[in-house]
DNA sequence: ACGCATTTGGACACCGGTGTCAAAAGGTAA
DNA sequence: TTACCTTTTGACACCGGTGTCCAAATGCGT
């Protein structure tokens, strides 16, 4: 007799369908060696009983949880959030859930902490966000622990590693082209922090484009920040006080660009008539600041979704490495330079 | 003989220590009815073997996972992120992990989706963020599913429900007092969306303070937004075009306040000399916009941490309901009004 | 009709913990 | 010493799935 309101288990399904547990298990796991009519019969019983497999039991038996992990150590919090939404989008309507785990890049115990985390949680796979995605030890750890992983926005790696990135470098070149078209020739850059690949890529794009246009990039035209607002203020101050007298500044992310806005404003310099500024990321601040900021947008949510699907959907996993297009978002922080 | 590099299980520990599985289990679960010397002996073996309990097995046996869930449906994404960091802070150095789950407030299947999510994940407990924390059906569902929960920033509830909130209302009164001290008398408000308790609280604080100061609040002094930037622009436009001619605007959150900045700027109105603006939340935009915005900050990370501890730490759980202090953050978007 | 190769299905052990309950150990009183 | 009670421990079933491996069923050639 069927009990009152007891959650049906695989045994109940098997009993009602007149097959064994294992056969039901095969149906659930889409085993190909089942007679179609058996499959249908079992599926009907599953539906009529409202059976749902117990994830904890599966996790125990398979030694692996139905959880995706998000490993991040990101100075730009907004990016993390967008990334989350992309992953959540990918796993909507699946049995997967998303576990978020911050990583302390500077801690000497970082690897041990993550090892212990992976040991305990037995994740199905992890998505590693920049900049920590550039850490090869971390990637090796994941592999060693038998945990799938996708590295985001990092450099070209072994062919068998999953990677999702965007064409930052090329897009920064487009930014410079745009500024040059507007008539700018003294263009300065606020670089991202040393050792960050994204910062390196953006610098290379800048440098290549400037060179292509035959424009100088003296030391006075270069300042370095750490991707945070305050560092953008300081970097802009250095650039504006130097002898280079830029008519345009490219900042390697929007936060620092906003810092440059701040500095310009506090020195009474009008943006864009006296100084053009371009950022990178198309984060909310870019649209909310005054004047609305021209920046580079990259499809972070789509990238996150693709990364998650690489982990959970074998058919998506075939292309190990994907590149998504970034594009220039034109707003109002760029104008032709004033004549000297 | 001890095997090569096989992860030790509770059986290994029991065998080496010369006790039964169950005794080891008792040690792990801090059962009080163990002889201290037995406990010590087993703990030594655990340490020497480097044993770590398998969470999947525990989850199966106990019908409950060691996961905390974060349920949110929040138009202000930054808040979600801060909240996450607070929770992660609380569960650092524990065996818990954090699962993030967005909720679609407008979907008719919302409750079914969450039910299914809770059924599958068997979370230890969930933290419910505003505004969805105001939904009693959701709270009841959690209780029904045997899942612990803490509601954030909602109203006074049954005494046996966990609740963490801040004194929004009182703090908005302080905002108005501050504006009045500066000499403002025509103060307008941009309300949050209808049906949000936070919006309601902030409105009540505004209204009470205005009344206390004997100041009028005509219809022209009230506009409503939805907590997003664009709605702040529209609301500010309405206020600035009306006959009320406010000298100060209080916006119920920073995003909308930033929209008001935007509108003022696009109409050539200077902030703060011609118009003072105050926001709420102390989100990054408040500090990054020009001029830096006076706003109300509330200790969201501490609140999140407290909420998480209520779920996982019995000693923290005693105080069912906590209130944290919000405070005025003075920056540069408030100045005395110009004479008419 | 029969033997043999190939599907398909099922019994059973196993994953690594926890709960139950009775037995063993220890302590005190008679 | 025995009876009796309390504290501490262990044998065993159980959570709800999956993997192994063998038996039963099916298809096919002769």
- Residues from chain B that touch A285, judged by Cβ atoms under 8 A, are 284-285, 288
Across the range A113-117, mean pLDDT stands at 92
**pLDDT band at B7, cuts 50/70/90?**
confident
Tell me the C-alpha distance between B271 and B268, whole Å: 9
DSSP-derived secondary structure letter, B328: E
Residue A14 Cα, gap to closest chain B Cα (Å): 20
DSSP-derived secondary structure letter, B225: -
B49 compared with B184, residue with greater pLDDT? B184
Residue A179, pLDDT score:
98
**What does the longest C-alpha to C-alpha distance in chain B come to?**
92
DSSP-derived secondary structure letter, B294: B
- Phi then psi for A327, rounded to 5 degrees? -150, 155
Among A26-30, B125-129, B156-160, where is mean pLDDT lowest?
A: B156-160
Residue among A88, A111, A50 at smallest CA distance from B69: A88
Burial pattern A114-133, b for ≥16 Cβ within 10 A else e, equals bbebbebbbbbbbbbbbbbb
Q: Which residue in the block uniquely carries the two structure tokens 């569902």? A: B141
Across the range A118-141, mean pLDDT stands at 92
Nearest to B289 among A65, A99, A289 (CB): A289
CATH class of domain segment(s) B1-49: mainly alpha
Residue among B328, B121, B313 at smallest CA distance from A65: B121
Structure tokens at B269: 């109105």
Determine the 3-state secondary structure of A224 from DSSP: strand
Determine the 3-state secondary structure of A84 from DSSP: helix
Tell me the C-alpha distance between A222 and A207, whole Å: 11
Count of A-B CB contacts under 8 Å: 110
Q: Decide: CB of B31 under 7 A of nucleic strand C.
A: no
Q: Is A76:A279 a contact under the CB 8 Å cutoff? A: no
**Mean pLDDT over all residues of chain A?**
91
**Mean pLDDT over all residues of chain B?**
91
Determine the 3-state secondary structure of A261 from DSSP: helix
Residue A1, pLDDT score:
39
Q: What is the pLDDT of residues B294-320, one digit of tens each?
A: 999 999 999 999 999 999 987 777 777
Chain B CA closest to residue A78: B78
A10-53: CATH architecture: Orthogonal Bundle (1.10)
Structure tokens at A116: 């212990």
Q: What is the pLDDT of residues B102-154, one digit of tens each?
A: 998 889 999 999 999 999 999 999 999 988 998 899 999 999 888 999 999 86
Residue among B112, B180, B172, B115 at smallest CA distance from B143: B115
Nearest to A100 among B98, B119, B255 (CB): B98
**Preceding peptide of A88 cis, ω within 30°:** no
Confirm or reject contact between A287 and chain B (CB < 8 A): yes
Q: Is B275:B264 a contact under the CB 8 Å cutoff? A: yes
Chain B CA closest to residue A232: B288
- Phi then psi for B24, rounded to 5 degrees? -60, -45
Distance in Å from D11's C1' to A292's CA comes to 73
Confirm or reject contact between B265 and chain A (CB < 8 A): yes
- All CATH 3.40.50.2300 domain ranges in chain A, comma separated: 62-166+300-326, 168-298
Residue A234 Cα, gap to closest chain B Cα (Å): 14
Q: Give the nucleotide nearest to A61 (CA→C1').
A: C15
Residue B211 Cα, gap to closest chain A Cα (Å): 33
Q: Which residue in the block uniquely carries the two structure tokens 């064409």? A: A167
**Topology (CATH level 3) of domain B168-299:** Rossmann fold (3.40.50)
pLDDT tops 90 at residue B204: yes
Across the range A117-131, mean pLDDT stands at 93
Cα distances (Å, whole numbers) of residue A298 to A295, A314, B248? 10, 25, 38
CATH numeric code, A62-166+300-326: 3.40.50.2300
Among A224-233, B89-98, B311-320, where is mean pLDDT lowest?
A: B311-320
Distance in Å from C29's C1' to B21's CA comes to 35
Residue B2, pLDDT score:
42
Q: Is A140:A110 a contact under the CB 8 Å cutoff? A: no
Residue A39, pLDDT score:
85
Quick one: which H or E segment has residue A55? helix A55-62
- Residues from chain A that touch B289, judged by Cβ atoms under 8 A, are 288-290
Q: What is the pLDDT of residues A301-337, one digit of tens each?
A: 999 999 999 998 877 777 778 899 999 999 999 999 9
Q: Is A176:A221 a contact under the CB 8 Å cutoff? A: no
Residue A5, pLDDT score:
58
Residue A208 Cα, gap to closest chain B Cα (Å): 31
Q: Is B88:A100 a contact under the CB 8 Å cutoff? A: yes
- All CATH 3.40.50.2300 domain ranges in chain B, comma separated: 64-166+300-325, 168-299
Q: What is the pLDDT of residues A257-297, one digit of tens each?
A: 999 999 999 999 999 999 999 999 999 999 999 999 999 99
Structure tokens at B149: 């929960």
- Residues from chain A that touch B81, judged by Cβ atoms under 8 A, are 77-78, 80-81
**pLDDT band at A155, cuts 50/70/90?**
low
Pick the CATH number of B64-166+300-325 from 3.40.50.10310, 3.10.105.10, 3.40.367.20, 3.40.50.2300: 3.40.50.2300
Tell me the C-alpha distance between A252 and B66, whole Å: 40
Q: Which residues pair with B276 in a beta bridge?
A: B248
Chain B CA closest to residue A263: B290
Confirm or reject contact between A301 and chain B (CB < 8 A): no
Residue among A139, A206, A151, A215 at smallest CA distance from A176: A206
Burial pattern B286-302, b for ≥16 Cβ within 10 A else e, equals bbbbbbebbbbbbbbbb
Q: What is the pLDDT of residues A158-169, one digit of tens each?
A: 777 888 999 999
Residue B228, pLDDT score:
92
Tell me the C-alpha distance between A278 and A267, whole Å: 18
Residue B157, pLDDT score:
65
A173 compared with B3, residue with greater pLDDT? A173
**What percent of chain A is modeled with pLDDT above 90?**
66
Confirm or reject contact between A48 and chain B (CB < 8 A): no
Q: Which nucleotides of C are covered by protein (CB under 7 A)?
A: 7-20
DSSP-derived secondary structure letter, B50: T
Among A73-87, B120-134, B213-227, B324-338, where is mean pLDDT lowest?
A: A73-87
Tell me the C-alpha distance between B76 and B74, whole Å: 5
Q: Which residues pair with A294 in a beta bridge?
A: A278
Residue B1, pLDDT score:
40
pLDDT tops 90 at residue A340: no
> Which distant-in-sequence residues (6+ apart) come within 8 Å of B299 by Cβ?
B166, B324, B325, B326
Q: Which residues pair with B151 in a beta bridge?
A: B128, B163
Residue A106, pLDDT score:
87
Predicted TM-score (pTM) of the model is 0.89
Pick the CATH number of A168-298 from 3.40.50.300, 3.40.50.2300, 3.30.43.10, 2.160.10.10: 3.40.50.2300
Sheet hosting strand B148-152, strand order edge to edge: A321-324, A162-166, A148-152, A125-128, A67-72, A97-102, B97-102, B67-72, B125-128, B148-152, B162-166, B321-324
Write the DSSP assignment of B166-183 as a string of letters: E-HHHHHHHHHHHHHHTT
Distance in Å from C5's C1' to A33's CA comes to 16
Residue A299, pLDDT score:
94
- Phi then psi for B281, rounded to 5 degrees? 125, -30
Tell me the C-alpha distance between A174 and A176, whole Å: 5
Length of chain B: 340
Touching A: B residues 175-204, CB under 8 Å:
none
Residue B340, pLDDT score:
61
**Strands, DSSP E only, in chain B?**
67-72, 97-102, 125-128, 148-152, 162-166, 187-191, 222-224, 248-251, 276-278, 295-297, 321-324, 327-329
Across the range A23-43, mean pLDDT stands at 83
pLDDT tops 50 at residue B3: no
- All CATH 1.10.260.40 domain ranges in chain A, comma separated: 10-53
Q: Is B260:B235 a contact under the CB 8 Å cutoff? A: yes
Q: Is A125:A90 a contact under the CB 8 Å cutoff? A: no
Tell me the C-alpha distance between A287 and A331, whole Å: 8
Q: What is the pLDDT of residues A183-192, one digit of tens each?
A: 999 999 999 9
Among A151-160, A221-230, B85-94, B227-236, where is mean pLDDT lowest?
A: A151-160
**What percent of chain B is modeled with pLDDT above 90?**
69
Residue B324 class from Cβ within 10 Å (0-12 exposed, 13-18 middle, 19+ buried)? Answer: middle
């Amino acid at each position: 007799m069927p009990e009152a309101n007891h959650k049906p288990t695989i045994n109940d399904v098997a009993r009602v369908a007149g097959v064994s547990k294992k056969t039901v298990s095969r149906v659930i796991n889409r085993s190909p060696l089942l007679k179609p009519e058996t499959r249908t019969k079992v599926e009907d019983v599953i539906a009529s009983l409202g059976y749902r497999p117990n994830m904890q039991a599966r996790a125990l038996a398979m030694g692996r949880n139905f959880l995706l992990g998000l490993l991040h150590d990101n100075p730009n919090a907004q990016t993390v959030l967008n990334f989350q939404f992309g992953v959540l989008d990918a796993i909507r309507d699946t049995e997967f859930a998303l576990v978020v785990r911050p990583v302390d890049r500077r801690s000497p115990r970082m690897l041990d902490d993550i090892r212990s985390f992976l040991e305990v949680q037995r994740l199905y796979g992890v998505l590693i966000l920049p900049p920590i995605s550039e850490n090869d030890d971390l990637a090796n750890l994941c592999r060693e622990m038998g945990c799938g992983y996708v590295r985001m926005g990092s450099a070209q790696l072994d062919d068998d590693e999953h990677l999702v990135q965007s064409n930052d470098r090329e897009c920064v070149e487009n930014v410079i082209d745009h500024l040059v078209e507007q008539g700018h020739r003294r263009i300065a850059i606020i670089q991202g922090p040393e050792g960050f690949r994204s910062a390196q890529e953006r610098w290379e794009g800048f440098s290549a484009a400037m060179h292509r246009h035959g424009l100088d990039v003296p030391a006075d035209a270069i300042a370095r920040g750490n991707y945070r607002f305050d560092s953008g203020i300081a970097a802009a101050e250095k650039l504006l006080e130097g002898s280079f007298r830029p008519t345009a500044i490219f900042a390697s992310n929007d936060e620092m660009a906003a810092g440059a806005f701040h500095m310009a404003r506090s020195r009474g310099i009008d943006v864009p008539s006296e100084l053009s500024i371009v950022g990178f990321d198309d984060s909310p601040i870019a649209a909310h600041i005054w004047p609305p900021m021209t920046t580079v947008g990259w499809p972070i949510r789509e990238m996150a979704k693709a990364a998650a699907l690489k982990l959970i959907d074998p058919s998506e996993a075939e292309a190990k490495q994907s590149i998504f297009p970034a594009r220039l978002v034109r707003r109002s922080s760029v104008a032709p330079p004033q004549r000297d």
